[in-house]
Amino acid sequence: MATNLMTAHESIFIGGDWVAPATRDRIEVVSPWSEDVIATVPSGSREDVDRAVAAAQQALTAGRWPSMSLDERMAILKRFRGLLLERSEELAQLITAQMGCPITQSRTIQVVNPVGILEAYLETAETYPFRTLRRSANGQALVTREPVGVVAAVVPWNVPASLTAQKIVPALLAGCTVVLKPAPETPLDAYFVAQLLSEAGLPPGVVNVVPAEREVSEYLVTHPRVNKVTFTGSSVAGRRIAELCGHDLRRVTLELGGKSAAVILDDADLDAAVSALRLGSFRNSGQVCSLKTRLLVPSKLQDEFLERLNALIDTMPIGDPQDENTHIGPLVSARQRDRVEGYIATGIAEGARLVRGGGRPIGLEKGWFVEPTVFTGVDSDATIAQEEIFGPVVAVIPYQNENEAIAIANNSIYGLNGSVFTTDIERGLRAASRMHTGTVELNGNPAGFCAPMGGVKQSGLGREFGPEGIDAFVELKSIGIPKEIADSLQ
């Protein structure tokens, strides 16, 4: 990976143009592998947010965008999809450079997923009920779903391109306009996306990009001309955004933290279950909110399970994220590594047994690495079993029977994701129905981009993907109409 300055962006994307920012403040993008500055971008100001929101508001009410049909909006997104596919390697390299995701995962997940999200939403939009007729004995109504307005989309650093697509695609299909605020750690892919959207023919002002630090981000989500906020990130930040938006009754969707449990039942295929945890627990070096970091195993199978888990980790090299053999790359920042190391120290102090890992890998003097780490003998109330670590750290928790396993799985302030492993599918479905979480993966099978995704409890508000994902960007309107008009619409 190159350690010299990759690029210095001097502009931000507002109103369809690359314009000078209002201040000279800069955000440095630092390689998690080399620890060198590899790029800089402007650090947006309140004035920049005002300009971006004004451009989005103008595009919402004037120009080509509000008069475009759904088919025309879909055509732009189809061209965008084609450009993403053509330049997928460039995007994969950008993501790996910014945040250290192993390059093979950047190619097969970080870039593939945005395309899959696009395709799923395009298919959903074809049958989405933007206009429906309802009739009853006391009236007829045309029920329309209209764009909610200007959307502030706040994206984190861990899977930035996927989460950008996750937010802007349904917003655009609904007819909204967007101000995209990428994470300071990973702004480069947002510039890349803005350029491709422009090449795809998106009208000026429909999507605007303003990188910014926390204070300016708060200004964006409280801006009086922003109608909707969609945010993915920590539960702490999500609560703050919910508080700010609640003051003005601003619409908000929050996808927040997780502490997901993999419930491995006593009839599970252990080899298949452990194999699924390669990506299910350690994808992106443990920096994904839906990862299964609490591994619930029957007490009688714990030793056998640990043996297989150790063998799995032995096949997951740690090192240079540009090396195609690397499975575990560096964490995104020194601060994130400090956080993970703090949790490992807490786990040891609270009496959990460290089975493997727990330190920095030998021979890697640079880069923000933490070894894949496995704890066992973990009490379900322990800190490392309750708090989101966001690194390659898992807690193996033994249980005596299925009821206890479900109770442990539900013993969390979070409820984003989970897994059940069993050879009895009906049993697995029954167990999944008892887990208090937004998504459950049976034997490691993902729900895909056609199904609603989101959390319960402190894992968030609202849903993304499927028709429910478009629901988040529309407002319902009922128009009372005469019977003869209703008859003509049938």
Report the helix count and the strand count for the chain, using DSSP H and E. Answer: 17, 21
Q: Establish whether 101 is a catalytic residue.
A: no
Total Cβ atoms within 10 A of residue 409: 28
406 to 190, 369, 432, 435, 437: CA distances (angstroms): 40, 33, 9, 6, 11
CA-nearest of 153, 29, 161 to 98 is 29
CA-nearest of 182, 148, 150 to 165 is 182
Residue type, 458: Q
**Runs of H (alpha helix) within 355-478:** 383-386, 402-410, 425-434, 466-471
In the block, tokens 């790996």 appear at 96
Give 106's DSSP letter: I
Q: Which residues of 197-226 are buried (b: 16+ CB within 10 A; e: fewer)?
A: bbebebbbbbbbbbbbeeebbebbbbbeeb
Q: Catalytic pick from 101, 176, 245, 289?
A: 289
What is the DSSP pairing of strand 418-421 with strand 260-264?
A: parallel
Angle between helices 160-174 and 112-127 (to 10 degrees): 20
Sign of CA dihedral 38, 44, 49, 55: negative
Q: Catalytic pick from 185, 255, 341, 441?
A: 255
Q: Establish whether 450 is a catalytic residue.
A: no
Catalytic residues: 255, 289
